[in-house]
A and B are shown apart, each in its own frame.
Chain A
């Protein structure tokens, strides 16, 4: 970027030199163009890549297999029915039918229930993470991940959450509830089909 200013003051007499041309280039159009290009790129590029939430569904089996028995007191059934409402009950939907409890997606809603049920595991995992953050424990990300996975696997007290949605449920409800699972570090959860009994229960549920 040469910026040599040659001021030719007409000197009388002496040798006549060829007139020196100023080497200054007017950069304004270049700046204009660059401004335009930058604006264009700013507007057309996607800076933040979308994030994804991974969910693995149980494989669909064509042939009937004996159903896996899970402890009734550990099962927490969550029913979604739209309108930002969450209903839940513990155990199985067998007569006498358990009462549905109404809740929502707020901080004191379903999260409190899940944390209460998952206290031990949540404390374990959070303490582990805090240790890493504070620098008391220095391990690689993959090691930490597998350690947390192991904690989840060894957990025998936390809830087994069954997520069920009826026809009125919105997609965001499902995303929100799966999100709550990862916030509360729930070890085992699954999205399953709603039972006819539960549909009936929803009809009589408190609004």
Chain B
């Protein structure tokens, strides 16, 4: 008797539920996502119990890294028709006699944090090489030149003028010397900013009545 051969069929898995699931996931991610901006430097924020969330709009961030280098970031504000970053850079250009082309200004509008003296700014904007770009980020000077206030002072000043609603956040590395942060705080206070948001990581700590010393 010849062997009965079952018809050879390729096993076919029904992919429809899988595709459904993936679509749902993808849509969920797309809707909830806020892109992680490319930061100019690596910061390890200290921990705190604060649960207040940082606003994602109308905020200017001053980043102080481990070596005390200072970086600056600001967003375009809630009103998408306004180009706060472009306005601020235009003002800075006027202050330091640097002429920016419309393309350079536009490019700057999309970048995240930066930190270099105004002298290197044009070079940084036009640099295509990311290594070179990184090398140019030497931090924004905080020393005043003669009677003229420092560059960071003007960044804060023009940002405040361009977007009066902007809050100020200080994002410092835990290992940064406090002296450096103090310089930034003093400078902000000169700009009539007395309320700072210190960026921290959440770390729960429970203290109850039982912990009270008798």
Spell out A's residues near B (CB within 8 Å): 1, 3, 24, 27-28, 30-31, 34-35, 37-38, 41-42, 44-46, 48-60, 80, 107, 111-112, 115-116, 119, 122-123, 126-127, 130, 165, 167-176, 178-179, 182-184
Number of interface residues of B (CB under 8 A): 63
Contact assessment for A52 and B200 in the assembled complex, using a CB-CB cutoff below 8 Å: yes
Q: Is the interface of B mostly helix, strand, loop or mixed?
A: mixed
B189 touching A175, Cβ below 8 Å:
no
Query: Given A115-B213, A167-B177, A170-B175, are A179 and B199 neighbors across the interface (CB < 8 Å)?
Result: no
Q: What residues of B have a CB within 8 angstroms of the CB of A168 in the complex?
A: 177
B205 / chain A contacts, CB cutoff of 8 Å = 183
For chains A and B in complex, what number of residue pairs have CB atoms within 8 angstroms?
176
A-B contact pairs, 22 of them (CB 8 A): A1-B19, A24-B12, A41-B33, A42-B29, A49-B34, A51-B48, A51-B200, A51-B201, A52-B52, A52-B199, A54-B50, A54-B197, A54-B198, A56-B194, A56-B196, A119-B212, A122-B212, A168-B177, A171-B174, A171-B177, A175-B47, A178-B48
**Closest residue of A by beta carbon distance from B198:** A53
Contact A115 B19, beta carbon cutoff 8 Å: no
CA distance A28 to B13 in the complex (A): 10
Measured CB to CB, the residues of B under 8 A from A are 12, 14-16, 18-20, 22-23, 25-26, 29-30, 32-36, 45-54, 56, 64, 169, 171-182, 185-186, 189-190, 194-202, 205, 207-209, 211-213
Q: Which of chain B's residues have a CB closer than 8 A to the CB of A42?
A: 29
CA distance A107 to B181 in the complex (A): 26
- A167 contacts B54, CB within 8 Å? no
Complex Cα–Cα for A42 and B29 (A)? 8
Contact between B196 and A54, CB atoms less than 8 A apart: yes
Decide: B50 and A182 in contact? CB cutoff 8 A: yes
A170 vs B189: C-alpha distance when bound (angstroms): 20
Q: Is the CB of A41 within 8 A of B15?
A: no
Distance in angstroms from A41 CB to nearest chain B CB is 4
Cα distance A178–B170 in the bound complex, in angstroms: 15
Query: Do A115 and B207 contact each other (CB < 8 Å), given the known contacts A38-B26, A80-B178, A122-B212?
Result: yes
CB atoms of A175 and B198 under 8 A apart? yes
| A170 and B16 form a contact (CB under 8 A) | no
Q: Which 6 pairs of residues, A with B, have the shortest CB-CB distance?
A: A172-B174, A52-B197, A27-B15, A172-B46, A34-B22, A46-B36
For residue B182, which residues in chain A have a CB less than 8 angstroms away from its CB? 165
